[in-house]
Structure 1
Amino acid sequence: MIERVIATNATIQLINKLKEKHGEVMFHQSGGCCDGSSPMCYPKGELRIGANDVLLGEIAGCEFFISKDQYHYWKHTQLIIDVVNGRGGMFSLEGPEGQRFLTRSRVFTDEELKELGF
């Protein structure tokens, strides 16, 4: 099965640290408003998910959502959630950790797109 969103080992380590502090968490790929286009991490259930959000998959056992509009543009890519040094988004849980989540991507191969139904 082709995963639409995956996480690096560094990301999984940071997620586990955040889970120890905050309990279960969830992600939403930001649309570029206040915190740019960073993946945002929230305590599970804190962000209201609506009809305009798509469950892209899970990373480290945490649901990862993206807006339908963004999904439309990124549906041909796999999102790779990574971690870099620096201040995270002001609304995202990793903000005070000295690291921030970052979205990288790669275009699916023709074979993967076929498996995904494109």
Structure 2
Amino acid sequence: MVDRVTVTEEALQLMNTLKEIHGSLMFHQSGGCCDGSSPMCYPNGEFRIGESDVLLGEIGDTPFYMSKDQYEYWKHTQLIIDAVDGRGGMFSLEGPEGKRFLTRSRVFTGEERSELAKES
């Protein structure tokens, strides 16, 4: 099985810190408005998910969503959620922690694209 979204150890550590403070979490990949295109972290259920959103998978037992429109641009890539020093998005939970989540990506290989096509 090919993961559409993965997570680095640094991001998992930040997620664990946030879970201790806020309980279970969820992510939604921002489409660019106020916070650029950052992965936004919320308490689970705080961000309204609708028919226009796609569940890409889970990272650290945490659901990760993206809008269908944005997914059309990113569907050929694997998202890698990382954490780096700096200020997070103004609406994302990590802001006060002095770190921010960051989306990195890589293009799926031909073999991975074939596998994903079978899953659809």
TM superposition score normalised by structure 1: 0.99
Match of 2:49 in 1: 49
Within a 5 Å distance, the mapping from 1:26-105 to structure 2 comes to 26-105=26-105
Moved over 6 A (4+): none
Q: Give the C-alpha shift of residue 18 in structure 1.
A: 0.2
Match of 2:23 in 1: 23
Question: Distance between the aligned counterparts of 2:55 and 2:88, measured in 1?
Answer: 22
* SS of residue paired to 1:26: strand
* SS of residue paired to 1:117: helix
Match of 1:11 in 2: 11
Q: Give the C-alpha shift of residue 92 in structure 1.
A: 0.2
* SS of residue paired to 2:48: coil
Match of 2:114 in 1: 114
Sequence identity (%): 73
Tell me the number of residue pairs that the alignment of Structure 1 and Structure 2 aligns: 118
Gaps of 5+ in 2: none
Question: Distance between the aligned counterparts of 1:96 and 1:85, measured in 2?
Answer: 11
Q: Give the C-alpha shift of residue 111 in structure 1.
A: 0.3
Q: Deviations over 1:17-36 (max 9, x none)?
A: 00000000000000000000
Q: Give the C-alpha shift of residue 64 in structure 1.
A: 0.1
